[in-house]
Structure 1
């Protein structure tokens, strides 16, 4: 049989599709890099500017408010300008924020630049999963959608590794390095490198078939569909045209429904995003260095523990990518919720039973290893499930006609929830680590019940069938 006689789905270039999806997922790398690189700088920022616990939390989490803002406007902007152009804009904004953050002269200035960078990260966090879902065949869409989370955790790992290397080279995060700038400033200046890479690579990406159809560029849409998705190209493009005809007449008002003013599926997306953050995962990646120091570990050991945790996160995300299209989305979420509940409960117990020395719990020779194992098991269960699966579901669970608007709302909710958790942790830490981790345990248990009753399975379904 000649190549031209083969069904279209066999002619789609799967390797090229994976490469394109991976490039788009670099937006997730920016997300992970930005959220983690501050980890190594927190202690030095506190020493440099001497802010209150609340103000320190606000400066760390300012990027998350910016991300919520960027996520909110990214969907409509992507429908107007295209997915690829929004990625390039996001990279440029992120680049500028890295420069401003590294040269900040006050805690308020630092918070402003992190807010600006967050806008770029938020936009990328909406566009990447939507673009990947729109460019991927249904049979591998779950695995390709998981690349977003893999990029996030890899960004976290690289950022923490850079923090560790710079702090070790300088002799501490607050110690001076090149041009007299302390190591923590170089940590933040390093944000410019992945931003430049993302912007450069994004300009090489093909535009989404759905955007091309929406702009009347049907021939281009068919070419992209044939090359990256395959199948009955004419039928797919016609189905996209039909659903987008409805989408053009929609606005945020069309998300209204009978359940507290919104459609039930929109609430599912919002609550998935909120639970992903309310289990406290980003406390591990924003504050773990100062957290482990607070309970008795040295600065060097605290950095090393954080890097090891990030490697664990990468490995478990790879496992999720390998299993998500076989096991399905819902089973992975349930496994993750159960595991997180147990491991977070163990952390809360470890901190709750530790004696208080100088106002902080001091882990014993027995409870120290227990806490370390529990923290890493928490990351394992999160990386296997809620980390990648939520991004996959958000990219595919909404009907075509409301996807852009619903995704923007859900991701904005995720950033706001992240902001709440990140801002309140220094205050909760003052109240007691056992209380903080007990609260995260409660939300992990609640997430199990939510998934069991409300989350739909989307494995193997075409986007047009949602």
Structure 2
């Protein structure tokens, strides 16, 4: 968005506070994302016991919601372009609300999986809408910082899920114990009612995206929203920029669709897809889903693994603030490159550490200094990811596409991210059974590849307006066609 240099400081601060508040509310969808993906950690053993699920099938139960997330992300962008960002946020809240209740009250495995899929649909939709909406209401000078709120909310959701799981387990004495009318593990899901209601109520209080309104021909409504988020003297300029970008995109309708000559999609869409896949193929969710083996291997008791996972979640939250502080100063591209280097080195050390392990009572044990080395490497990995790739993938997906395909293209990228998450979640137990060295070696290899991908394919978006980048991308597509 255009920004005036003569805006009085008091008005500038007021507008920044207003836009920040809008970004925080939109990012609650990210909180649901993190909460839903991690809440099952404390309940999975009890679910298996209650429904007599074989251990070999537990990975499918853990990952079932991710399929719904992938579908929701793919459809969410299309729904947002058709019905608007706010209406679709509310739909996501309703889906998560229903899933929280019905998964908590499930009476069979198939019943539980169905409601986890429904919740996944809502989370997938929310994961698309939040970065799209935030990028469309944010001034370019702070857009990266506000876009990082999505990942911050995800990390807070992970922390809240792990914390609430532990709380219910402590209150009941175990996840299987009864607390009032329900087992503790059921309360772990039922508590999701609270954030879903908060998200739904607050979403209805958000103004619609001015870009969506202008694209629908609702000019006066778009102007009214702009008055709330940009300096008064720049309202008409911003509205003109948005309408001009929409007109240029309309003139290039065929060229501006997501379809193209690179395996059916435009090159920019493929870049978004690959970016989203790399974020998962470095194995970050292995740390949050399957950390018990790692912590036991470095000398911790099984009873301590829950606390250590929670501490890791806190570290993940803390380093996200680093990204928020630096993204609009340093830029997206340099931070991604440094993050890739940090992940490559730390994952390589984890692979080397586990190559020194030997089996004791069926579990890997690391001798001498290799245990602490693996533990330090794991935390450096979380720091490298959390301060860079974690938030910046969502920032870039919200910025890199032309506005008339932004929601749809973002939906495809987010869907690819969920599918990659599912692949890693399901594949890791089998890979770990073969070799933890192989597992972390594969993750290190993808982290290494990500360095070259960022260097050659990712363009810097810091300080550039969405209209400028969208028009440039469309012109580039036309020239290459």
SS of match in other structure, 1:94: helix
Distance 1:233 1:197 in 2: 31
Unaligned stretches of 5+ residues in structure 1: none
Aligned with 1:276 (options 276, 279, 286): 279
CA distance in 1: counterparts of 2:296 and 2:184, whole angstroms: 18
- The 2-side partners of 1:273 and 1:401 are apart by 20
Contact 1:39 1:289 in 2 (8 A): no
Per-residue deviation at 1:405?
2.0
Alignment match of 1:306 (pick from 306, 309, 315): 309
CA contact (8 A) 1:246 1:401 kept: no
Q: How far did 1:116 drift?
A: 0.7
Pairing 1:415–2:410 present? no
CA distance in 1, matches of 2:256, 2:239: 27
* Residue 382, structure 1, aligned to residue 385, structure 2: yes
Distance 1:460 1:6, change over 3 A: closer
For residues 184 and 432 of structure 2, the distance between their equivalents in structure 1, rounded to whole angstroms, comes to 26
Task: Call closer, same or farther: CA 1:124–1:282 in 2, change over 3 Å.
Answer: same
Find the residue that maps to 1:449 and give its secondary structure: helix
Say whether residues 1:459 and 2:462 are aligned partners. yes
Check if 1:211 corresponds to 2:195. Answer: no
- Pair 156,372 (structure 1): closer, same or farther in 2 beyond 3 Å: same
Cα distance per residue 1:305-342 (max 9 Å; x no partner): 01110111111100010000111001110111111111
CA change 1:252–1:432 in 2 (3 A) is farther
The structure-2 alpha-carbon separation of the partners of 1:229 and 1:61, relative to structure 1 and needing over 3 Å to count, comes to farther
Shift of 1:16: 1.0
Q: 3-state SS of the aligned residue for 1:257? A: strand
Name whichever of 187-196 and 161-170 sits farther off: 161-170
Match of 1:135 in 2: 137
Instruction: Compute the RMSD of aligned alpha carbons.
Output: 2.3
- Mapped partners of 2:172, 2:370: distance in 1: 32
Q: Structure 2 unaligned runs (5+)?
A: 470-481
Please say if 1:318 is aligned against 2:321: yes
Question: Per-residue displacement from partner, 1:234-258 (whole Å, max 9, x unpaired)?
Answer: 1221232233346668589922333
Between 364-373 and 443-452, the greater mean CA deviation after superposition? 364-373
Q: Summarize the Cα distance change of 1:170–1:371 in structure 2 as closer, same or farther, 3 Å threshold.
A: farther
C-alpha offsets along residues 161-200 of structure 1, whole Å, 9 cap, x if unaligned?
Answer: 1122222333333x31313533222212222211111111
Moved more, 213-222 or 318-327: 213-222
Question: What does 1:339-418 correspond to in 2, within 5 Å?
Answer: 339-364=342-367, 366-418=369-421
1:364–1:113 Cα change, 3 Å: farther
CA distance in 2, matches of 1:146, 1:135: 14
Deviation at 1:7, TM superposition (A): 4.3
**Tell me, what secondary structure is at the counterpart of 1:133?**
helix
Q: Secondary structure at the match of 2:141?
A: helix
Q: Match of 1:440?
A: 443
TM-score, scaled to structure 1: 0.93
Identify if the C-alpha distance between structure 1 residues 108 and 350 changes in structure 2 by more than 3 Å, giving closer, same or farther: farther
Q: 1:219 to 1:253 in 2, by over 3 A?
A: closer
- 1:60–1:111 Cα contact (<8 Å) kept: no
How many residue pairs match? The answer is 461
Within 5 A, what are the aligned runs for 1:235-274?
235-245=237-247, 254-274=257-277
Aligned residue number for residue 478 of structure 2: none
Normalising by structure 2, we get a TM-score of 0.90
The CA distance in 1 between the partners of 2:255 and 2:48, in whole Å, is 41
Preserved contact between residue 86 and residue 204 of structure 2 (Cα < 8 Å) = yes
Is the contact made by 1:31 and 1:155 (CA closer than 8 Å) also made in structure 2? yes
Which stretch of structure 1 is more off in the superposition, 143-152 or 240-249?
240-249
1:259 deviates by 2.8
Q: Secondary structure at the match of 1:394?
A: helix
Specify whether residues 34 and 354 from structure 1 end up closer, same or farther in structure 2 by C-alpha distance, changes over 3 A only.
same
**1:327 aligned to which of 327, 330, 333:** 330
Partner SS, residue 260 of structure 2: coil
The match for 2:182 is 181
Maintained 8 Å contact 1:8/1:232: no
Q: Distance in 1 between matches of 2:107 and 2:300?
A: 30
Cα distance change of structure 1 residues 11 and 81 upon mapping to structure 2, 3 Å threshold: same
CA shift, 1:220, in A, is 2.0
Local SS of the residue matching 2:237: helix
Contact 1:329–1:389 (CA under 8 A) maintained in structure 2? yes
* Corresponding residue number in structure 1 for 2:475: none
Moved more, 181-190 or 451-460: 181-190
Once structures 1 and 2 are overlaid, which stretch shifts more, 430-439 or 91-100? 430-439
Contact 1:282-1:418 within 8 A present in 2 as well? yes
